[in-house]
């Protein structure tokens, strides 16, 4: 496994790999890896000849009051996991490699970035799109892997790739959950035992909706009320949003159809978590 912290030698290295006709897979991460990340890496290892993983906590997607400084980091542990999985190349740059002094260019996907999570995190998707576009340009992979847990992010990235005619395939892999159903996230490390127990209300609410849909319910408002009722029964939980939307424009649905996205964001005390299901 080769590790790079600057752009020119990484690009030279990957150009050499691609010159031999190798299919390049890419998994962008912010580190503090868990089984969700590893599932994406394993998908790349299976579907590519050479797998690149980036580790970079992107300051552009954090608002000033958010947890950039406290976001969990453990580079030594992450590199050990990546080597054990058989990753070929790691890109782990310092902040000024990607955002040098006087940096002034950002990428936005209008409308989509303002819905769901974008309402409470207005700078988030601008930061995500900017860093993903930069990384796709630097790595120039044939295929890049993202997780379904970040469903809105995946939809926005696919739109950006389509709109900008980028020559990369975007693969979205299933959510990985713990044995209780909690979607894995690096921020889960913030939870104490009581908060982790409380956090399960989100998955229980989504599961209630799935059960009602399986029983024939198609009214979106009634389904959202069912989800809210489950979450609101947890004293530590505060709902950010519960929405049922299409997966093209993230517009609200009144009648639920196959392929629609049921997405929710909840605060457990001050810790925000997201989850979703596809109908």
- For residues 241 and 245, give the distance between their C-alpha atoms in angstroms, rounded to a whole number: 12
Tell me the C-alpha to C-alpha distance, in Å, between residue 40 and each of 3, 235, 252: 19, 34, 29
Integer Rg of the chain from CA: 19
Positions of E strands within the chain: 2-4, 24-29, 50-55, 89-91, 143-147, 169-173, 237-245, 261-268, 271-278
Pairing relationship of beta strands 261-268 and 237-245 according to DSSP bridges: antiparallel
Three-state DSSP state, 205? helix
CB 136 within 8 A of CB 54: no
* 37 has catalytic annotation: yes
- Which of 199, 204, 205 shows the shortest CA–CA distance to 185? 199
Among 13, 15, 34, 37, the active-site one is 37
Active site residues: 37
């Amino acid at each position: 496994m080769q590790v790079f912290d600057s752009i020119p030698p990484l690009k030279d290295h990957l150009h050499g790999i691609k010159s031999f006709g190798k299919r390049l897979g890419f998994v962008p991460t912010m580190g503090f890896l868990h089984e969700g990340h590893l599932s994406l890496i394993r998908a790349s290892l299976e579907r590519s000849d050479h797998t690149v993983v980036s580790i970079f906590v992107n300051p552009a997607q954090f608002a000033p009051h958010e947890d950039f400084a406290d976001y969990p980091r453990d580079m030594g542990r992450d590199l050990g996991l990546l080597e054990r999985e058989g990753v070929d190349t790691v890109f782990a740059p310092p902040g000024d490699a990607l955002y040098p002094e006087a940096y002034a260019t950002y990428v936005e996907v209008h409308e989509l970035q303002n819905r769901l999570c974008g309402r409470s995190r207005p700078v988030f998707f601008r930061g995500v799109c900017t860093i993903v576009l930069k990384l796709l340009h630097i790595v120039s992979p044939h295929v890049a892997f993202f997780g379904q847990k970040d469903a809105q992010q995946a939809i926005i990235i696919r739109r950006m790739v389509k709109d900008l005619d980028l020559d990369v395939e975007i693969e979205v892999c299933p959510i990985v959950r713990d044995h209780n159903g909690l979607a894995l996230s690096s921020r889960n490390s913030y939870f104490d035992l009581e908060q982790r127990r409380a956090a399960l209300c989100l998955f229980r609410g989504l599961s209630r909706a799935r059960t009602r849909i399986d029983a024939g319910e198609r009214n979106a408002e009634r389904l959202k009320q069912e989800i809210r009722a489950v979450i609101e029964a947890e004293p530590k939980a505060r709902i950010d949003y519960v929405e049922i939307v299409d997966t093209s424009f993230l517009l609200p649905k009144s009648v639920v159809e196959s392929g629609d996205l049921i997405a929710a964001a909840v605060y457990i005390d001050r810790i925000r978590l997201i989850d979703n299901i596809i109908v």
